[in-house]
Amino acid sequence: MAGRAELSRTQAATLIANGNVTVNGVRQKASYRPVAGDVVVAEEPAVHEIEMLPESIPLEVKYEDEYLLVVDKPAGMVVHPAPGNWSGTLVNALMGRETDLPEGEMPDRAGIVHRLDKETSGLLIVAKTDRAHRILSSAIAARRVQRRYAVMIWGHLEGDTLTVDKPIARDPRDRKRMAIVINGRQAKTDFFRLARFGPGDLLRAQLHTGRTHQIRVHLASVGHPVMGDDTYGGGGGRKMVGLAPKRHFLHAAWLQFNHPITGAPMDIRSPLPDDLRTSLRIIGEGEAVALAEDPLAALGFYD
């Protein structure tokens, strides 16, 4: 079931346990072993509409006008509601501050132009009108929105630059993860080394595409996972570099795009949050650049 329906094993087991799956017209336990000729039928469970509720959650807004806003999302916040995270999301917070959002077909994702992983911090564009949402979504698809991330990896690149161009899709062995898959969707990321420290390198990553977990999967594929990334092999040693549980060293620090209505060039920046600055000081072992008031600017991230 998991493989054929592109579900996690837990999701497949839940469908079976809830009676949504039959074998030859009869409900079976998840442990049943199908044999040649069996007809397995899965019925899609009824979707219960989730009421979206406004919540009073502080947000750091870097830019706002009548058409859009740019939020500096903290690590630990989910962008939009999903199973296991029906509240406390960015969408709930936007509703709580009475932000005007487009009235699309998916109110739980209203205004969201692109996403960040839960434990990734940094800049996110939110559209406030349908027109702005259409234009911004098209700009991202056409790669006219420049998104750059600060990322710390384990180990050292062979050179100062690296481009990874490998297709990404759901991991066929674990549907909760992404992986390099031959017939996956095209994905390309450029990496530039900003600094080399004892345990690893600080990189600037620029997305050419926007696949789920793209930076994390690409770096893991070349043997240099993101520090603190439990999912893709970088979680070991997090205490040594001062990272909190479930926090990885990945921050969306720089956005450049044209305003969807006025066409004016937008250049919005976010310095490293306090937790990553603390980690950088530990990794840098007293190096002046790691102690700078704005380490990214000192390292030429915005050059």
Across 218-240, average pLDDT: 96
- Position 108 scores a pLDDT of 57
- Kindly indicate whether the domain formed by 60-141 is annotated with CATH number 3.40.50.800: no
Asked whether the predicted pLDDT for residue 47 surpasses 70, the reply is no
Residues of the chain with CATH 3.30.2350.10: 60-141, 146-298
Asked whether the predicted pLDDT for residue 13 surpasses 70, the reply is yes
- Position 50 scores a pLDDT of 64
Other beta carbons less than 10 A from residue 83's beta carbon: 7
pTM of the predicted protein model: 0.84
Across 103-132, average pLDDT: 85
H/E stretch holding 4 reads helix 2-5
- Position 86 scores a pLDDT of 77
Residues 101 and 210: their CA atoms lie apart, in Å, by: 23
Mean pLDDT, the chain, rounded, equals 91
- Position 270 scores a pLDDT of 98
Residues 218 and 225: their CA atoms lie apart, in Å, by: 8
CB 260 within 8 A of CB 276: no
- Position 111 scores a pLDDT of 86
Over the stretch 81-113, which tens digit does the pLDDT of each residue have?
Answer: 776 777 899 999 998 988 878 765 455 567 889
- Position 48 scores a pLDDT of 54
Over the stretch 256-278, which tens digit does the pLDDT of each residue have?
Answer: 999 999 999 999 999 999 999 99
What is the DSSP annotation of 18-66?
TT-EEETTEE--TT----TT--EEEPPPPPPPPPP-------EEEEE-S
Q: Catalogue the active-site residues.
A: 117
CATH number of 146-298: 3.30.2350.10
Across 50-58, average pLDDT: 83
Query: For a pLDDT cut of 90, what percent of the chain falls above it?
Result: 74
